[in-house]
Amino acid sequence: MSTVAESREKQSAAVVDAPAEFLTFRLGDEEYGVDILKVQEIRGYDSVTRIPDAPDFIKGVINLRGTIVPVVDMRIKFRLGKAEYNEFTVMIILNVSGRVVGMVVDSVSDVMQLGSEQLRPPPDIAGAVSSKFITGIGTLEDRMLILVDIEKLMSSQDMALIESATVQ
Amino acid sequence: MTVRILAVDDSASMRQMVAFTLKQAGFDVTEAVDGADALKIAQKESFNLVLCDVNMPNLDGIGLVRALRALAPYKFTPMLMLTTESAPEKKQEGKAAGATGWLVKPFNPEQLIATVRHVIG
Amino acid sequence: MSGIDLKRFHRTFFEESFEGLDAMEAALLRLDPAAADAETINSIFRAAHSIKGGAGTFGFTDVARFTHVLETLLDAVRAGKHQLTVEDVDCLLRSSDMVRGLLKAAQDETPADNVSADALAAELSQRLAGPQAAASVAAPAAASAAASSAGWQVLFEPKPELFLSGNDPLRILRELQSLGDCEVRCRETQLPTLAEADAERCYLAWELSVRAAVKRERIAELFAWVDEECRLEITPLAAAAPAPEAKPAAPAAAAPAAPAAPAAPAAGTNVTPMAVARKPGEGADAKSDAAASIRVATGKIDAMINLVGELVITQAMLQQLANRLDPVHNEALLQGLSLLDRNTRMLQEAVMSTRMLQVDAVFSRFPRLVRDLAGKLGKQVRLQLIGENTELDKTVIEKISDPLTHLVRNSLDHGLESTEERLAAGKDSTGQLTLRAAHQGGHILIEVIDDGRGLNRQRILAKAAERGLPADPNMSDADVFQLIFAPGFSTAAEVTEVSGRGVGMDVVKRNIQALGGSVELSSEQGRGTTVLIRLPLTLAILDGMSVAIGDEVYIIPLSAVIESMQPHENQVKTIAGQSTVLRVRNDYLPLVDLRDLFGLSGERRNPCEAIVVIIEAEGRKVALQIDELVGQQQVVIKSLDRNYRRVRGVSGATILGDGRVSLILDVAAIVRLFGQAMAA
């Protein structure tokens, strides 16, 4: 019940045109940002149970306090960085479209607040992530953040995470 | 002294409404789901007021009032019947059985509290 | 004042009203209009009465208005003033549908169909009134309605036994005072001496002057509860002389409604006789338990089941850790753990049982359905329900409803013959349809049995051939009957009004299999057909066999496991150098390496160095090769597609004692998958 209320609160907060907060993470040399309100928690990499018939970037499923959560490795998906798994490997647990998904990235940097003056529209050419999932570019001093619509990305066919996206 | 009320109705929503309303008003309310249930409870505990629906399975409101009146601890206890306007003869039947009075459905929480306060004094 | 929002009670009101309607409908269907028993009539009346009362209180005026008319008719029936007819019962059934519709509209906050409601209400009134005019409502004698500007003089002389009704004159005096200035004089003339006085009797009387500009009714109202237990005179203050005997307007004695002429007996109408036979005692017991139950949101129960599931996992984890301990040095701890194990299992069972409902929750809709359909088809049908209090999981109950309805419709439409046909065949003109539920092991069996014409083997084979389905005249009866469940067997050609369109038996079978169940048909030509559905009791827990392939552990539902073995070399054969089969006694079973099926890495083993588990679903067996057997355990089924998608060959997941996720194999899918692979 509380999660419903929370997520509703989160949604309405996201609509407000105030400075937005982003969790930033690295994939290879690129720095990405996702809406902090979509992030449920950050945790280390657990042992993952493999799933048959899954693309290589879907590492499998983990037990997150009793629910079964799929894990995608963005480094494999976007061929960035080295897909190694050790005690420093981090996983961002996202809550997107009512689903929980774990996302493995190179590293998590920080949480940044960006005002509208720091936001630029997405360029035609973007990073490894297809431009249709990029909502904009955030600048902070000399850092460039690629802002990803993580909800859209995770529900897309590319990720093969949800039913409609699978080829029957 | 807390006033203890026994609320009897086979309809869960009406019972909840009565109990909730009276609890909000500071009364101590016990619920019973039909006449037989109420009679059992009333013999184990004591109440300052009994509110009961008329149409109930397993001993209706009139039977309940008659049974309670026959018990020494309830000889003078106010007992109100929750009745519908369509049944004037039920009021008389209830009175004959020993009911103190009635509250006509539909009533709102305010009417309920006011009536109970009057009866309790 | 109190500011209580009645909305908080709406949910309960709707729930109990829908339940009340179900009970009303069931009672109406049970009812024999010619010999209605009082308790049945009473229960129908009570349902309508409660809905009306609640609807009025909670502000659902459309519902209250219609139910009032319904209640009025039922009240007359109850009081013996109106004799029920078969048509009345039909009308009452339609009324219960109407109330349901009005309630739904109120619940969804959509406009109610008041036109239909009013029309039906008019019909109800008509049935009650018969040809005679509605008794005019006596207007209350409004002679002294005018407010007295000065106030009222009241003489209140209670009878000695006033106290015995729980009334207290002081209450009334207090209320009078709340109206305005009051002058009270107490008359003690009747007071006996102390020795003679009985403390339980009232000897006092009061004369009051109430200076309040209120209507006379306002004063009289305060005495309404005691008007038979006192002498009361209310006179305007100005006229000091007490008017002789001005009692508050007693309602003009309601002219007893002349007993409505019983509506013309249903001579020559085409009403299909329908009786619902219940085993004596069944169902009735369940009803009396209802009072001792509380209503809990399913969300709370599910949360509890999840937590208990977690507890089972934690307990298993502790057990695993404990297995490494020295049993001599840790005896007390190990004993405590085994106690925990037992308590956990018992808690789990207890919690699971809270989700169990009686199958009556679905069965109860059939008397109405069968009655309506039989009427439409012009057939005579007797429905028998057996084992309605067999319990099974709420989710299973909800999901079995549609397939079962389909099967019942089928039996009525295709299975049972017309009256003429039955008579010609020397059978009872009334067809018998039986729904039976029973427990068997960890399963529930539900049977739909009719004594109709039975399945025609030749016609099924012919139709299967026509549809291009694999049919062979030498097939066993069971195999021939299974053809009915093949996709594409039933087509639009035989769609009738009753059986409906679109849903074939293949869908029925698929839905039942999706619940982990199976469906079988047996039939004898001319004697009838039985459909046997086998379902798991619950969808939340499964007895599993855990098997390992490399590091991965999978769960195979124990119910699907026939046996496991380490094959001998001479049991393994290849066909056309490609497919491998395993010879088990005289059967040759397809041999599937789970490693291949799931595309797992790791070295393939020779079947003779591995373990083979023989699994069965849908009457077909497959030998599944794995590396090792790990053990048997009860697992809590977790959904994989809540956060992910469905996976071929996997029905769900569970969490092992060490916290890892393990996938549960979908045996039916694997068998099917492999069957296709073999056929290709």
Q: Between chain B and chain C, how many beta carbons pairs sit less than 8 Å apart?
A: 116
Q: By the CB < 8 Å criterion, does C300 face chain A?
A: no
Distance CA B46, CA B73 (A): 8
Please give the backbone phi and psi of residue C83, each rounded to the nearest 5 degrees, phi first.
-95, 125
Pairwise CA distance, residues C136 & C127, whole Å: 17
- Residue C425: half-sphere exposure toward Cβ, Cα within 13 Å: 20
Cis, bond preceding B106 (omega within 30 deg of 0): yes
- Verify whether the Cβ–Cβ distance C225 to B102 is below 8 Å: yes
Identify which of C6, C53, C170 has the shortest CB distance to residue B11. Answer: C53
- Residue of C311, C601, C644 to mutate, interface with A, max A Cβ within 10 Å: C644
Is residue C558 within 8 Å of residue C565, measured between CB atoms? Answer: no
Whether C646 and chain A come into contact, CB under 8 Å, resolves to yes
| Residues C643, A163: C-beta atoms closer than 8 Å | no
The tens digit of pLDDT for each residue in C43-65 reads: 888 899 889 888 988 888 889 88
The region of weakest confidence among C195-204, C495-504, C653-662 is C495-504
Structure confidence at residue C433 (pLDDT): 95
Which of C600, C641, C661 is nearest residue A62 as measured by Cβ atoms? Answer: C661
CB contacts of B92 in chain C (<8 Å) are: 228
Q: Pseudo-torsion of CA B35, B41, B42, B48, nearest 10°?
A: -100
Amino acid at A40: Q
Of C598, C648, C660, the CB nearest to A47: C660
CA dihedral for C459, C463, C469, C471, sign (positive or negative): positive
CA C370 to chain centre: 17
List the single residue in A with minimal CA-CA distance to C312: A66
pLDDT beyond 70 at C442: no
For residues C400-422, one letter each, b for 16 or more C-beta atoms within 10 angstroms of the residue's C-beta and e for the rest, the string is beebbbbbbbbbbbbbbbebeeb
How far apart CA C288 and CA B36 sit, in angstroms, is 12
Distance of residue C187 Cα from the nearest chain B Cα, in angstroms: 23
Residue C370 vs residues C89, C375, C382: alpha-carbon distances, Å: 16, 8, 9
The CATH architecture annotation of domain C541-679 reads: Beta Barrel (2.40)
Mean pLDDT of C407-420: 90
Total domains in chain B come to 1
Each residue's pLDDT tens digit, A30-89: 899 999 999 999 998 878 999 998 899 999 999 887 789 999 999 998 888 778 888 888
Q: Is the pLDDT of residue B2 over 60?
A: yes
Task: Identify all chain C residues contacting A50, using CB atoms and an 8 Å cutoff.
Answer: 552, 600
Does the beta-carbon distance from B118 to C291 stay under 8 Å?
A: no
Q: Among the ranges C2-11, C443-452, C535-544, which has the highest mean pLDDT value?
A: C443-452
Asked if B58 and B34 count as a contact pair (C-beta separation under 8 A), the reply is yes
* Structural domains present in chain A: 2-154 (2.40.50.180)
Give me the residues of C, 544-573, that contact A with CB < 8 A.
552
With beta carbons under 8 A apart, name residues in chain A contacting C645: 160-163, 165-166
Q: Reply yes or no on domain C152-236 having CATH 1.20.120.
A: no
Average pLDDT, stretch A27-31? 87
CB contact under 8 A, C164 and B69: yes
Asked if C247 has any chain A CB less than 8 Å from its own CB, the reply is: no
User: Which positions in chain C touch A60 (Cβ < 8 Å)?
Assistant: 661
Minimal C-alpha gap between C590 and chain A (Å): 21
The reply to whether C601 touches chain A by the CB within 8 Å rule is no
Q: What is the mean pLDDT of chain C?
A: 79
Distance from CA of A100 to the nearest CA of C (A): 6
Task: Compute the count of residue pairs across chains A and C with CB atoms less than 8 Å apart.
Answer: 74
- Do chain B and A touch: 3 or more Cβ pairs under 8 angstroms? no
Choice between A59 and A116, residue whose per-residue pLDDT is larger: A59
Spell out the CATH class of C358-536. alpha beta
Distances (CA, A) of C286 to C37, C360, C391, C396: 20, 10, 12, 20
Q: Is C167 on the interface with B (CB under 8 A)?
A: yes
Print the domain residue range for B47.
Answer: 4-120
Residue that has been written with the tokens 């009222």 in this structure = C152
> Which of B27, B34, B55, B112 to mutate to probe the C interface, most C CBs <10 Å?
B55
- A61, A97, A161: best to mutate for the C interface, most C CBs within 10 A: A61
* CB of C299 less than 8 A from some CB of A: yes
Contacts 24+ apart (CB under 8 A), A134-141: A138/A22, A138/A33, A138/A112, A138/A114, A140/A112, A140/A114
Helix (H, G, I), strand (E, B) or coil at C188: coil
**CA nearest C228 in B: which residue?**
B95
Chains C and A touch (3+ CB pairs under 8 A): yes
Q: Is the Cβ–Cβ distance between C345 and C396 less than 8 Å?
A: no
What is the pLDDT, as a whole number, of residue C156?
86
Highest mean pLDDT among A32-36, C276-280, C344-348, C500-504: A32-36
Residue C294 Cα, gap to closest chain A Cα (Å): 21
For residues A129 and A39, which has the higher predicted lDDT (pLDDT)? A39
Q: Which residue of C has its CA nearest to B80?
A: C166
User: Are C463 and C414 a contacting pair, CB within 8 Å?
Assistant: no
Shortest CA gap A66–chain C (Å): 7
The stretch C509-519 carries a mean pLDDT of 81
Residues counted in chain B: 121
Share of chain B above pLDDT 70, in %: 97
Please tell me the predicted confidence (pLDDT) of residue C352.
Answer: 78
Give the residue from A7, A129, A135, A142 showing the smallest Cα distance to A72: A129
Q: Which subunits have 3 or more CB–CB pairs within 8 Å of chain A?
A: C
Amino acid letter, residue C476: S
| Two tokens, residue C76 | 């007359």
Q: Min CA distance, B2 vs chain C (Å)?
A: 19
Pick the CATH number of C6-131 from 1.20.120.420, 3.40.50.2000, 3.40.50.300, 1.20.120.160: 1.20.120.160
What is the identity of the amino acid at C530? T
Chain A positions with Cβ closer than 8 Å to C? 1, 47, 49-54, 60-63, 66-70, 99-101, 160-163, 165-166
Cβ of B21 within 8 Å of Cβ of C171? The answer is: no
C641 at A interface, C-beta within 8 A: yes
All chains having 3 or more CB pairs closer than 8 angstroms to chain C: A, B
Quote the strand ranges of C6-76, DSSP E.
Answer: none
Q: What is the pLDDT of residue A127?
A: 60
Per-residue pLDDT band at C495 (split at 50, 70, 90): very low
Q: Tell me C260's DSSP state.
A: P
Backbone phi and psi for residue A133, each to the nearest 5 degrees, phi listed first: -105, 5
Domain harbouring B115, CATH code: 3.40.50.2300
Beta strands in C283-397 (DSSP E): 356-358, 381-386, 391-393
Query: Residue C190 — pLDDT band, cuts 50, 70, 90?
Result: confident
B34 vs C: CB within 8 A? yes
Range of weakest confidence among A44-58, B75-89, C126-140, C275-289: C275-289
C171 contacts on B by Cβ (under 8 Å): 118-119, 121
User: What are C587-641's pLDDT values in tens digits?
Assistant: 888 998 998 888 887 787 888 889 999 998 767 889 999 999 998 887 878 888 8
| C52 contacts in chain B (CB < 8 Å) | 84
Instruction: Give residue limits of the domains in chain C.
Output: 6-131, 152-236, 297-354, 358-536, 541-679
Report the percent of chain C where pLDDT is more than 70: 85
pLDDT band at B86 (very low <50, low <70, confident <90, very high): low
As a whole number of angstroms, the distance between CA C21 and CA C93 comes to 10
